[in-house]
Amino acid sequence: MSLFLAMFGFSLTMSITPGPVNMVIVSSGVQYGFVRTIPFVSGATIGFTLLLAMIGFGLYQVLERYPQVLQYLAIAGSLYVIYLGYKIASGPTEEIAVAERTLPRFHEGFLLQWLNPKAWIACVSGVALFSSPQSNSLFYFVGIYFFVCYLSLTAWALMGDRIRLVLGTEVRIKIFNRVMGALLATSAIYLLYSQFLEK
């Protein structure tokens, strides 16, 4: 029981804390509402769970042998997050037809997890802590993480939907989106700086 509680606590801490995926979700909740954000949430949850399973069942050894892979992923992920930050900041609030074209999709949530440095760190750390060749603990960990991740990301989408009601006007929503997009892009630029320019 203590192992399951530890798995649950780790999963909740890594899923509920702010990161690129959570920022995109809350912004989508503000701009598009809860229901239309769920496909992105589903893609992000499934993408993360598959990444966790792949690292647990073999990719972990590859990363130990070639640690520079994480650096390249961080650079690619940063560029993708900057692109998403731009989409959020420039997203329309008035024209539904145009807004639909910028709606975060299932495949974008899936891809973002595979390019998200926070997701890779969570997966590698979790596998190191909870996988054991002598037991089926990794299967349980993946299952628990899927459940916790889906609930956590759904909570962020719901929070975005509630924030939309508080903001009220389209002007305030547009300002919020620009601030969130700028924060997302700034965090990605900092990650690029730390991975590339400081070397």
Quote the domain boundaries for residue 159.
2-13+20-32+39-70+90-175
Q: Assess if residue 182 is contained within a domain.
A: no
Q: Assess if residue 9 is contained within a domain.
A: yes
Q: Assess if residue 7 is contained within a domain.
A: yes
Please determine, for residue 61, whether its predicted confidence score (pLDDT) is greater than 50.
yes
Q: How far is CA 107 from CA 15, 41, 42, 65, in A?
A: 19, 10, 9, 29
Q: Assess if residue 49 is contained within a domain.
A: yes
Helices (H), the chain: 2-16, 20-32, 34-54, 60-65, 68-90, 96-101, 106-114, 117-130, 137-167, 170-192
Q: Assess if residue 50 is contained within a domain.
A: yes
Please determine, for residue 181, whether its predicted confidence score (pLDDT) is greater than 50.
yes
Cut 0.75: pTM above it: yes
Q: Which amino acid is at 2?
A: S
Percent of the chain with pLDDT over 70: 85
Task: Report the range out of 18-27, 34-43, 52-61 with the highest average pLDDT.
Answer: 34-43
Which of 7-11, 12-16, 75-79, 110-114 is predicted with the least confidence, judged by mean pLDDT? Answer: 75-79
- What's the total number of domains in the chain? 1
Q: Assess if residue 94 is contained within a domain.
A: yes
- Residues 114-167 have pLDDT tens digits of 888 778 888 888 888 887 666 678 888 999 999 999 999 999 999 999 988 888
Q: Assess if residue 80 is contained within a domain.
A: no
Q: Assess if residue 81 is contained within a domain.
A: no
